Amino acid sequence: MDLKEEDILGADIGRHWYYRSKAAALRRAVGRLHPQRLLDVGAGSGFFSRHLLAETAAQSALCVDIGYPADRDDSVAGKPVLYRRDTGPTDCDLVLMMDVLEHVDDDRGLVRLYADKVPSGAHFLVTVPAFQFLWSGHDVFLEHKRRYRLGDIEKTMSDAGLDVVHGAYYFGAVFPLAAIVRLATRGDTTPRSSLSKQGALTNALLTAACAIELPLFPVNRLAGLSAFVLAKKP
């Protein structure tokens, strides 16, 4: 996940409408898998894997990020969370890449690298920012390389040797407003985040809008701010 956004939101990240809603979509996307051992790549604080440990039957998380100053161990709900700068082969059955692939030059190569570390049958859940026409100073600030259409990220996963199980867009409810704002300021790519702390009312309204959208999330291949893809190692 984007460390710069974590720095902006700080302790409020779990209450922010965007991260609360994305975590809910993640639970829905992997709910039928009943994962036990999570590998969270580019994890930052491990927000999403920690959320799954707290809210599901998942039993452990291995968070990998080259930005960690040192390896350390932690726990959530009595379940181990290991923070590591790197990892070798692992028996993790669900790999999370939450807003990671847009940061690297070789997205297929990164997926292949971790596909080689996990057993056959392991699933990958990947999220990326959607639609290149939404490119803005927000992407520049976060040091993105690209944004994706759903078909693009599905092809990335399949080119990396995985079988695509399902893909969908999310944040369709707020997509029209975001598109209007991004298109109106398209010529301005001054680096700055469009994510900020919000008041209780704004958080409640936007969280509710995304919650209403959630039942349609699995069939939304039309539009959204994020693309979700679930894939499986043959």
State whether the Cα torsion 171-173-175-177 is positive or negative.
negative
In contact, 83 and 40? CB cutoff 8 Å? no
Q: Mean pLDDT, the chain, as a whole number?
A: 93
Report pLDDT for 212. Answer: 96
pLDDT tens digits for 81-131?
999 999 999 999 999 999 999 999 999 999 999 999 999 999 999 999 999
**Per-domain boundaries in the chain:** 3-232
Residue 147 has pLDDT above 70, yes or no: yes
In contact, 61 and 98? CB cutoff 8 Å? no
The closest alpha carbon to 66, from 41, 88, 89, 34, belongs to 41
Task: Say which CATH topology domain 3-232 has.
Answer: Rossmann fold (3.40.50)
Helices (H), 10-130: 17-30, 47-55, 107-115
Question: Which of 136-145, 182-191, 211-220 has the weakest average pLDDT?
Answer: 182-191
Report pLDDT for 14. Answer: 76
Q: Give the helix/strand (H/E) hosting 41.
A: strand 37-41
With cut-offs at 50, 70 and 90, classify the pLDDT of residue 184: confident
**pTM of the prediction?**
0.93
pLDDT tens digits for 6-39?
665 666 677 888 999 999 999 999 999 999 999 9
Report pLDDT for 192. Answer: 74
Residue 173 has pLDDT above 60, yes or no: yes
- What distance in Å separates the CA atoms of residue 216 and residue 214, rounded to the nearest whole number? 5
